[in-house]
Amino acid sequence: VISSISQYFREILAKDPGMKRLELPSLSPLGLANVITFAYLGRVHMSLYTIGCTVSAAATLQIPQLLKMCMDFLLAELNVQTCVYVWNIAAAYGLRPVCDAARRFVLENFVQFAATPLFTQLTLEQISAFLQDDSLLLPSELTAFQLAMKWLDFDASRQPHAAELLSHVHFETIPASELVSQIQPVPRMMLDPQCHRLLVDAMNYHLLPYQQNTLQSRRTQVRASQPTLLTIGGRPSLTERALSREVLWRDPREGGATWRHLTQLPAKSFNQCVAVMDGFLYVAGGEDQNDARNQAKHAVSTLSRYDPRFNTWLHLTGMRQRRTHFSLAASGGRLFAIGGRNVEGLLATTESYLPSSNTWQMRAPMESPRCCHSSATLPCGDILVTGGYISCAYSRSVARYSLESDSWSEQTPLDTPRGWHCSATLGGKVYVVGGSQLGPGGERVDVLSVEVFSPEGGTWSRAAPLRLGVSTAGLSPLAGKLYLLGGWNEAEKR
């Protein structure tokens, strides 16, 4: 009967059908009794006190049905009182799904778990692993510090490990006011040289906002395991004159279209450019008024930096030229503002922003002035500028900027002229999406084609076309996909 459910017994009997006696010293009597009960009845009584011997028997005798029943039981018993015990059993017998579930449970309920006696029984390796995990859910990073101190203070023999454990706390993401009021008064943070160094580094980080890009480390990053999508400012609809200051976010893992409020821009803007660099969001240029007939007249040169850790904006030195309908790219620790237009006309100029000095420098200009183009950063750090409006026409032109030589070079042109499009780098290739061009009668028409640039050969290929034309949209790579957001459809005038 047992051989009908046990791969182990089937293999033994296949080798020696006449076997009458088999010793199984690694199995407990209770574990073997549960196997026999399961073989005859298809069920077995389980409890956390006896589950270990049942799992051992099911694993040794290779009974997958019983092993699954044990795993289901362990998962059902997960709570803050049992999670470590369940985790240890699962780890001992290689039950990976249960291990993962138990670890995830602790990470998601760490504060409640820390209120139980089991928390102070964690080993240094275990609590260090939790504090190093970016999936750890905490109300604030100050809580991480307080829980680490709780574990250290439980046993005096743990004091030599204080600096090692506290190095996993992201002190730089704790507001400066809390560093002074909540952490500095802790004696260990002032008396232990290594712990004091952690505090000093965090204070220096806050005191030098323009140097933060070069001071980034694991401790300066927010705890997050899933990137999110943002929409930033713009014009809500054609019928609305008012520009938006809203910054909204959405978790792409969620279904539907639930966008939540994150923050507000320092000022209303339209046709602005954005870039992410060193964990900061930069918003540059655009227009400060919604005036379709005089867009270039309202171009601005502003630059602001958003810090997601503290939900704050920092006003930075503005660009040397006012720009709208330009492009902004991050590469080599700098921002590059390219082309565009203002009240003086189309621009060929390029300027770069260096965060550490909070200054802009003029770089080599493009061969021709252009606006309504797009740019993307190649894996090597070069910047690829595609299409746009040049010499009163939508263009197929593609130019490549080399940071190393501060020079521009022409590349293989696009197959289709376009402007108001967007581009992004994904999987080492640049995807150029949407936009518009002029039709036979001089009217503006949507471009549905998607073109893909391969840097190795400098060649273009096609990807699946858009289902609906869109210009002035946002394009973002995320988790192996491209997300196309908002924009204007010329065919439907909306």
Residue that is last in its domain, among 220, 255, 278: 220
Which of residues 68, 85, 108 is at a domain's end? 108
One digit per residue, the tens of pLDDT, for the chain of length 494 reads 566 576 666 666 666 676 666 666 677 777 777 777 777 677 788 888 888 888 887 877 777 888 888 899 999 999 999 999 999 889 988 899 999 999 999 999 999 999 999 999 999 999 999 999 999 999 999 999 999 999 999 999 999 999 999 999 999 999 999 999 999 999 999 999 999 999 999 999 999 999 999 999 999 998 887 888 999 998 876 656 678 899 999 988 777 678 999 999 999 888 999 999 999 999 999 999 887 777 789 999 999 999 999 999 999 999 999 999 999 999 999 999 999 999 999 999 999 999 999 999 999 999 999 999 999 999 999 999 999 999 999 999 999 999 999 999 999 999 999 999 999 999 999 999 999 999 888 889 999 999 999 999 999 999 999 999 999 999 999 989 999 998 988 888 87
Within-domain flag for 437: yes
Q: Is residue 361 part of a domain?
A: no
CATH of the domain at 283: 2.120.10.80
In a domain, residue 281? The reply is yes
Cβ neighbours of residue 25 under 8 Å, at least 6 residues apart? none
| Residue 18 belongs to domain spanning | 2-108
pTM of the model: 0.87
Helices (H) then strands (E): counts for the chain: 13, 27
Asked whether residue 89 falls in the same domain as residue 145, the answer is no
| In a domain? residue 360 | no
* Residue 346 counted as domain residue: no
Tokens 């504060």, residue?
111
- Both 104 and 135 in one domain: the answer is no
- Cα distance between residue 340 and residue 21, in whole Å: 86
Domain of 144: which CATH number?
1.25.40.420
Looking at 269, 304, 334, the residue that finishes a domain is 334
Shared domain for 199 and 159, answered yes or no, is: yes
Q: Do 380 and 482 lie in a common domain?
A: yes
Check whether residue 473 and residue 411 sit in a common domain: yes
Specify whether 209 is located in the same domain as 242.
no
Q: Give yes or no: residues 103 and 132 share one domain.
A: no
> Alpha-carbon distance 230 to 243, whole Å?
17
Do 202 and 252 belong together in one domain? no
Q: Is residue 340 part of a domain?
A: no
d(CA 281, CA 392): 33
On whether both 487 and 380 belong to a single domain, the answer is yes
DSSP-assigned letters across all residues of 185-253: TSHHHHHSHHHHHHHHHHHHHHH-GGGGGGG--GGGS---SS--EEEEEE-S-TT--SPEEEEEEE-TT
Could you tell me if 129 and 169 lie in one domain?
Answer: yes
Extract the tokens encoding 295: 């867009």
Q: What's the distance, CA 114 to chain centroid? A: 27
Q: In sequence order, what are the beta bridge partners of 303?
A: 284, 316
| Claim to verify: residue 204 and residue 242 sit in the same structural domain | no
Regarding whether 124 and 100 lie in a shared domain, the answer is: no
In a domain, 275, yes or no: yes
Residue 298 DSSP symbol: G
